[in-house]
């Protein structure tokens, strides 16, 4: 597997060309924060493009034609090209080709850049419209962190603490599609006490988060602070019975239940004019 290591100060990361996916995130003491894949879920931190979530029937409709585009898009399963490889940063790119156009009939360039500095790993996504018409797209992160954060600590001792109070209702999924009804938030003020039962009905989706960061901590364990810029939504997910928690900044979300129209009309998409680009960044700061 074609991989590259970057490091600076108190953070070290390993990135693969396959999916431009983060494979490892460690502090200076060698403590691993990232879920190391496994039978419960065989990924680490997939990059989501050109959709986040699922389309009705896994079908993209564009100008009278249909295309099969499955959950979270194809970027996570494609090999990216290395654009830069340095000691503390790297950048990878994916461009449209015959295979992508069979699923998603639009010209594009999708870039994922990693940068390590002090105790923080930054990940920047860029979508470039290389075509001559409007580009409808979504992008997002799907990093899975160890839960528990360290051996011997109970799962229910862990907390997510947001930078701001989050009183707004949350959204849930049915069959991978966005339910129309809002659900009262399980977040009490700024804190969400973690329990696997929260995820029996799939992900928690904050479609209008007030916060720009959240801390994932437990007494006696190294913690994480996840922050984001340019992302409009946040997903939180785990697979009940598995030892990970995903904290996912998104530009976009699954199709609403019942939506089966023209792809460009799907709620939550970025609409990027020809020759323009959209960028969003999320950062993982290691605590303790």
Q: What is the pLDDT of residues 197-210, one digit of tens each?
A: 999 999 999 999 99
How far is the C-alpha of 55 from the C-alpha of 177, rounded, in Å? Answer: 7
Q: Which residue has the tokens 């109070």?
A: 165
The helix/strand/coil state of 85 is: strand
CB 58 within 8 A of CB 69: yes
Which of 238, 221, 241 has the alpha carbon at shortest distance from 150? 221
* Mean pLDDT of the residues in the chain: 97
Helix H or strand E segment including 25: strand 22-27
59-113 pLDDT, tens digit per residue, is 999 999 999 999 999 999 999 999 999 999 999 999 999 999 999 999 999 999 9
Span 3-287 CATH architecture: Distorted Sandwich (2.70)
What letter would DSSP give residue 57?
G
**Tokens of residue 108, six digits:** 């594009």
> Dihedral of CA 160/162/166/170: which sign?
negative
Q: Residue 242 above 70 pLDDT? A: yes
How far is the C-alpha of 131 from the C-alpha of 34, rounded, in Å? Answer: 36
> Dihedral of CA 263/79/279/286: which sign?
positive
β 213-217/59-62 pair status: unpaired
């Amino acid at each position: 597997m074609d991989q590259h290591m970057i490091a600076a100060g108190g953070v070290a990361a390993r990135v693969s060309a396959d999916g431009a996916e983060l494979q490892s995130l460690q502090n200076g003491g060698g403590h691993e924060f990232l879920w190391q894949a496994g039978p419960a879920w065989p990924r680490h931190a997939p990059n989501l493009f050109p959709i986040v979530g699922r389309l009705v029937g896994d079908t993209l409709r564009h100008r009278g034609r249909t295309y099969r585009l499955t959950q979270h898009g194809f970027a996570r399963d494609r090999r990216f090209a290395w654009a830069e490889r340095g000691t503390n940063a790297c950048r990878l790119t994916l461009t449209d080709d015959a295979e992508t156009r069979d699923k998603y009939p639009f010209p594009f360039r999708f870039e994922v850049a990693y940068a390590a500095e002090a105790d923080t790993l930054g990940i920047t996504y860029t979508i470039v419209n290389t075509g001559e018409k409007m580009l409808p797209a979504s992008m997002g992160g799907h990093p899975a962190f160890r839960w528990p954060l360290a051996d011997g600590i109970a799962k229910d001792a862990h907390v997510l603490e947001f930078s701001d109070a989050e009183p707004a209702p949350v959204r849930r999924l049915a069959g991978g599609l966005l339910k129309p009804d809002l659900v009262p938030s399980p977040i009490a003020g700024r804190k969400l006490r973690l329990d696997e039962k929260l995820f029996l009905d799939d992900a928690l989706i904050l479609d209008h988060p007030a916060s720009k960061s959240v801390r994932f901590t437990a007494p006696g364990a190294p913690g994480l602070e996840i922050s984001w810029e340019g992302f409009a939504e946040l997903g939180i997910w785990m697979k009940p019975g598995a030892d990970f928690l995903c904290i996912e900044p998104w530009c976009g979300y699954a199709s609403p239940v019942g939506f089966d129209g023209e792809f460009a009309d799907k709620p939550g998409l970025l609409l990027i004019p020809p020759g323009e680009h959209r960028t969003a960044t999320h950062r993982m700061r290691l605590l303790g």
